[in-house]
Amino acid sequence: MANGPSIGICTLKCTNNFCITGSNDGYVRVWLNDFTQVYIAAKYDQPMCSLKPWYDQTRVLILTIFGSIETLNLANKEYMNLIRSHTQFIIDIYYDDTRKQMIRKQLSEFTAKLETPVVVTYAPNRQTFACGFNNGAIKVFELNTSIISAEITDEEGNLCLLDGNDSYKLQRTIAKALSTSPKGILTLSISSDGKHTTYVGPTEFVVTIVETNCLNQTLRIYISGCTLITNNRQMITSTESPLFVRFAPNRQLLVATTNF
């Protein structure tokens, strides 16, 4: 993806038309899906920690470590600040894709004592969202009542399948499936059709793909030792380890490694 000195990728998101990366040089780069061309390269003074494409893929939400949320317009290549109210590092963001809108004012605030939230996601077609914590717990919050409707606790690194239509009853667990990094457990990526889930694990050198509805393994890729093709079409043997992995809408599997 880059010639010359390596540029560390800290976040990667995909849409039907673009792949969007945030890197440790302070740039948000919008690539064509085959990474042959950079469509936009926007420099930010504040280090970023996460990206989220807008539901209609016309804008990108950008989270910075200083607590602000900004948007980059992919049509006119302009950006604007949305929120500056946070005073600490923003770890994750999600929006309600069902209603096709971005909430620009704070409606609710949820607090968990003695636990650190690390990832959030909306439940499809429900007024709920789930939050994962650093101790392995998952809590489901009701937006209308601000109460916790379910709480699931398991050991850190386990991959669990729960039935949301049956009081989040545990269906299956794969022990120590996920690899840990200095930043904690890396999040999962689910294919656009919902049939497959991928993650880094069970070791830091392996990417695994499982069937979402049963967690049966379909593919395991050993990144260290596999053959890669460089920009100038040379074949090299990888000595890298994956940082994180994402499904693209076209079912390609994108892996960010330690040397990118």
pLDDT digits (tens, 9 = 90+) for 194-253: 899 999 888 888 899 999 999 999 999 888 767 666 666 777 666 777 878 888 877 788
Looking at per-residue pLDDT, the higher value among 47 and 27 belongs to 27
Count other Cβ atoms within 10 Å, centred on residue 156. 14
Mean pLDDT rounded to a whole number for the chain:
77
Reduce the DSSP state of residue 199 to 3 states and report it: strand
Cα 153 to Cα 142: distance, rounded to the nearest angstrom? 18
- pLDDT above 90 covers a percentage of the chain that reads 7
Q: Which residue type, as a one-letter code, is found at position 67?
A: G
Reduce the DSSP state of residue 53 to 3 states and report it: strand
What separation in angstroms does the CA of 103 have from each of 60, 83, 93, 148, 177? 15, 11, 12, 21, 35
Contacts of 199 (CB under 8 A, 6+ apart): 159, 177, 178, 179, 186, 187, 188, 189, 207, 208, 245
Report pLDDT digits (tens) over 45-96. 777 777 888 777 788 888 777 767 788 888 887 877 766 555 555 556 655 5
pLDDT value for 5: 44
Q: How confident is the model at residue 3 (pLDDT cuts 50, 70, 90)?
A: very low
pTM beyond cutoff 0.95: no
Looking at per-residue pLDDT, the higher value among 54 and 111 belongs to 54
pLDDT value for 131: 83
Q: How confident is the model at residue 7 (pLDDT cuts 50, 70, 90)?
A: low
Q: What is the mean pLDDT of residues 106-118?
A: 68
**Domains of the chain, CATH where assigned:** 1-93 (2.40.10.480), 171-260 (no CATH)
Cα 256 to Cα 231: distance, rounded to the nearest angstrom? 15
**Least confident among 13-22, 147-156, 230-239:** 230-239
